[in-house]
Amino acid sequence: MIVRAIEQLGAGTLYHVRDLGRMAGFLGYTLAGCFKRPFRLGELVRQLRQIGVNSTPLILFIGLFTGMVLGLQGYYTLSKVGMEGTLGMLVSLSLIRELGPVLTALMVTGRAGSAMCAELGIMRNSEQFDALECMAIDPFRYLISPKFLATIIALPILTTMFDLIGIFGGYLSGVVLLGVNPGAYMNGIEVKVLNEDISLGIYKSLAFGLLVVWICTGRGYFVQQIKNAGFGAEGVSRVTTQAVVYTSIAVLLWNYLITAVFI
Amino acid sequence: MKPAIRFVDVVKKFGDQVVLDHVNVEFLAGKTTVIAGGSGQGKSVSLKLILGLMAPDSGQILVDGCDVGKLSRKELDQVRAKFGVLFQGSALLDSMTVWENVALPLRERTKIKDEELISRVEGALAQFDLTGHGDKFPAQLSGGMKKRVGLARATMLKPDIVLFDEPTTGLDPQITMDIYRLFFRTQKEFGFTSIIVSHDIPKVFNLADQVVILNDGTMTVFEHPEDIQHSEDPNIMEFVEQTMGDVYSSSEELE
């Protein structure tokens, strides 16, 4: 009984170490693929549209309502201590430093990351990667690196949009609906939001972009090597779910770590 | 005759299962070799080993004298450039049209001008009876058409060696014959070395210059397909009984 438990623990540890190694190698090949000629600019633009432009309506919608809720809740809390005038600062700093990068990354994971994972998983199962390799076409340069670059470029832009529309949402609920002084709201943003806050948000969104595209494409690429995932369509669906869960956890953990380091 | 591909003492295992057990075999240049054997005997694994998609546990796989297991990625790509592969499920890129799939090797591996690319792709589509289907996506094609597109893509760069993984699986008898006729015509025209892995034993033996029977991890080579029926090896006799009977299609069917 005990021996069996130790065996299982060992086997599980070995599997995860191997999996991490595979994923590290995958990241290395993906980075190398970004610099291999011929560059696939057309594919990069197509991926930017897919991951960035097509995610914009969702990001704007979520950003607006997040800002509005922050405005309402912030007003409720601040009014208890008579500090409604600092609502602009509260909304903008919360969005720029924390909520913008995290929520944007989670939305992009759900919308584009899952799609990338499923696409690559299906390609793996139908031997399309083998076909590319047999034609001496590097699948990383051809398929994965454009997705990687597009996600890393798109995420900071989407995050900035999220922040801006969120601040506008906070203005709507705080100033227009609840009557906070508009000058105080804008002044709080202008005076209290520093370059470091904006930089932190951008660093976070870059790091999250890397996590989203790395985990989602990596899981799809290795769909047949993932333990207990099953085969065929079921395997792809399970691995896609796993990719979304792992990415979400990784984003939240990294968010805490980055905040702890920079605060 | 010079071998295009040699297996030297190749061993491949999956866990406890030994798929290839110290296999030594030569695939002759410019000839057609059929690899036959029951399910799970390692036929497709043999193709993946040749292509360097898998590595053997021990032994060497020599393609024109190069050991594919020991090549760098760049060298492996150079060796792979000699190959055309028709996959079991055709492995067409499903986000691309038929035209784009056929054009892919030319676009990625050559620097030819657009006019020449267009004319070569149109020529290939006509050769494989695909004219008018260039704008379709793989999901809109029948099984036979997918195989034809796969064959067009595999032979686009006039490879030295073409590998066929179960080229007629899942096709009806008429389409199967069409595919074999197309193969026969293409092989005659380009003169490539071909290796066919197939379950479709009686039909495919008409194409073979040599036959390799894969059984219990060993490969037995027969110079002439007819020799198989006269083998006294009990395993081969059992295989013949199960898969061939006395059914042989005539060579004229393929002409």
Classify residue B40 as left (phi > 0), alpha (psi -120 to 50) or beta: left
Residue B1, pLDDT score: 64
Q: Which domain does B111 fall in, by range?
A: 94-158
Distances (CA, A) of A66 to A87, A106, A164, B143, B236: 14, 14, 11, 50, 72
The answer to whether B104 faces chain A, any CB pair under 8 Å, is: yes
Instruction: Give the separation between CA B157 and CA B160, rounded to whole angstroms.
Output: 9
The beta-carbon neighbor of A136 closest among B53, B88, B109 is: B109
Residue A240 identity (one-letter amino acid): T
Beta-bridged to residue B213, according to DSSP, are B36, B220
Q: Are A100 and A63 in contact (CB under 8 A)?
A: yes
pTM: 0.86
User: Cβ-count burial of B228 within 10 angstroms (0-12 exposed, 13-18 middle, 19+ buried)?
Assistant: buried
Q: What is the average pLDDT score of chain B?
A: 85
Residue B247, pLDDT score: 43
Residues B51, A133: C-beta atoms closer than 8 Å: yes
pLDDT at residue A241 tops 70: yes
Q: Are A145 and A152 in contact (CB under 8 A)?
A: no
Q: Is residue B129 part of a domain?
A: yes
For tokens 């943003």, what's the residue?
A: A189
Q: What is the average pLDDT score of chain A?
A: 94
The beta-carbon neighbor of A131 closest among B77, B81, B85 is: B85
Residue B218, pLDDT score: 84
Q: In Å, how far is A99's CA from the nearest CA of chain B?
A: 35
Determine which of B108, B157, B161 to mutate to test the interface with A (most A C-beta atoms within 10 Å). B108
Residue B83 identity (one-letter amino acid): F
User: Cβ-count burial of A43 within 10 angstroms (0-12 exposed, 13-18 middle, 19+ buried)?
Assistant: middle
Residue A37, pLDDT score: 86
Reported as a single tens digit per residue, the pLDDT across A159-191 is: 999 999 999 999 999 999 999 999 999 999 999
- Contacts with A262 (C-beta within 8 Å, 6 or more apart), sequence order: A196, A200, A203
Q: Is residue A3 part of a domain?
A: no
The answer to whether B164 faces chain A, any CB pair under 8 Å, is: no
Q: In Å, how far is B55's CA from the nearest CA of chain A?
A: 14
The answer to whether B152 faces chain A, any CB pair under 8 Å, is: no
**B119-124 contact pairs (CB < 8 A, 24+):** B120/B156, B124/B152, B124/B155, B124/B156
Q: Are B38 and B62 in contact (CB under 8 A)?
A: no
Question: Which of B40 and B119 is assigned the larger pLDDT?
Answer: B119
Number of A–B residue contacts, CB under 8 Å? 51
Q: Are A92 and A188 in contact (CB under 8 A)?
A: yes
Residues B87, A130: C-beta atoms closer than 8 Å: yes
B22 by DSSP, 3-state: which? strand
**Total domains present in chain B:** 1
Structure tokens at B85: 């592969």
Question: Which of B29 and A106 is assigned the larger pLDDT?
Answer: A106
Partners of residue A134 in chain B, C-beta under 8 Å: 51, 53, 80, 83, 85
Residues B94, A136: C-beta atoms closer than 8 Å: no
Nearest CA in chain B to A137: B108
The answer to whether B172 faces chain A, any CB pair under 8 Å, is: no
pLDDT at residue B185 tops 50: yes
DSSP string, A82-142: T-GGGHHHHHHHIIIIIIHHHHHHHHHIIIIIHHHHHHHHHHHHTTHHHHHHHTT--HIII
Residues A128, B93: C-beta atoms closer than 8 Å: yes
Q: Is residue B102 part of a domain?
A: yes
Residue B171, pLDDT score: 78
pLDDT at residue A43 tops 80: yes
Instruction: Give the separation between CA B47 and CA B53, rounded to whole angstroms.
Output: 9
Residue B202, pLDDT score: 66
Q: Is residue B194 part of a domain?
A: no
Please compute the mean of the pLDDT values over residues B127-136 and round it to a whole number: 91
pLDDT band of residue B236 (cuts 50, 70, 90) is confident
pLDDT at residue B150 tops 90: yes
Residue A129, pLDDT score: 94
Distances (CA, A) of B132 to A21, B122, B135, B140: 47, 10, 8, 13
The answer to whether B85 faces chain A, any CB pair under 8 Å, is: yes
Residue B253, pLDDT score: 52
Structure tokens at A220: 């799809």
Please compute the mean of the pLDDT values over residues A45-54 and round it to a whole number: 96
For tokens 């897919």, what's the residue?
A: A50
Residue B231, pLDDT score: 74
pLDDT at residue B251 tops 70: no
Reported as a single tens digit per residue, the pLDDT across A105-154 is: 999 999 999 999 999 999 999 999 999 999 989 999 999 999 999 999 99
The answer to whether B91 faces chain A, any CB pair under 8 Å, is: yes
ipTM confidence score: 0.83
Q: Is residue B99 part of a domain?
A: yes
Q: Is residue B103 part of a domain?
A: yes
**Total domains present in chain A:** 1
Maximal CA-CA distance, chain B: 58
Partners of residue A28 in chain B, C-beta under 8 Å: none
Partners of residue A131 in chain B, C-beta under 8 Å: 85, 87, 91-93
Q: Is residue B130 part of a domain?
A: yes
Asked if the bond preceding A38 is cis, omega within 30° of 0, the reply is yes
pLDDT band of residue B172 (cuts 50, 70, 90) is confident
Length of chain B equals 255
Pick from A34-38, A40-44, B188-192: least confident: B188-192
Q: Which domain does A52 fall in, by range?
A: 21-262
The answer to whether B81 faces chain A, any CB pair under 8 Å, is: yes
Q: Are B36 and B243 in contact (CB under 8 A)?
A: yes
pLDDT at residue B215 tops 70: yes
B160 by DSSP, 3-state: which? coil
Distances (CA, A) of B97 to A7, A137, B134: 50, 18, 7
Helices and strands (DSSP H and E) totals, chain A: 12, 0
The beta-carbon neighbor of B89 closest among A127, A134, A136 is: A127
Nearest CA in chain B to A29: B73
Partners of residue A132 in chain B, C-beta under 8 Å: 93
Instruction: Give the separation between CA B59 and CA B65, rounded to whole angstroms.
Output: 14
- Contacts with B193 (C-beta within 8 Å, 6 or more apart), sequence order: B4, B5, B27, B28, B29, B30, B31, B32, B33, B160, B161, B162
Nearest CA in chain A to B153: A135
Q: Is residue B126 part of a domain?
A: yes
Q: Report the share of chain B in percent with pLDDT over 70.
A: 91
Count of Cβ atoms closer than 10 Å to residue A196 Cβ: 10
Reported as a single tens digit per residue, the pLDDT across B8-24 is: 999 999 888 888 999 99
CA A218 centroid distance within chain: 14
The beta-carbon neighbor of B91 closest among A126, A136, A142 is: A126
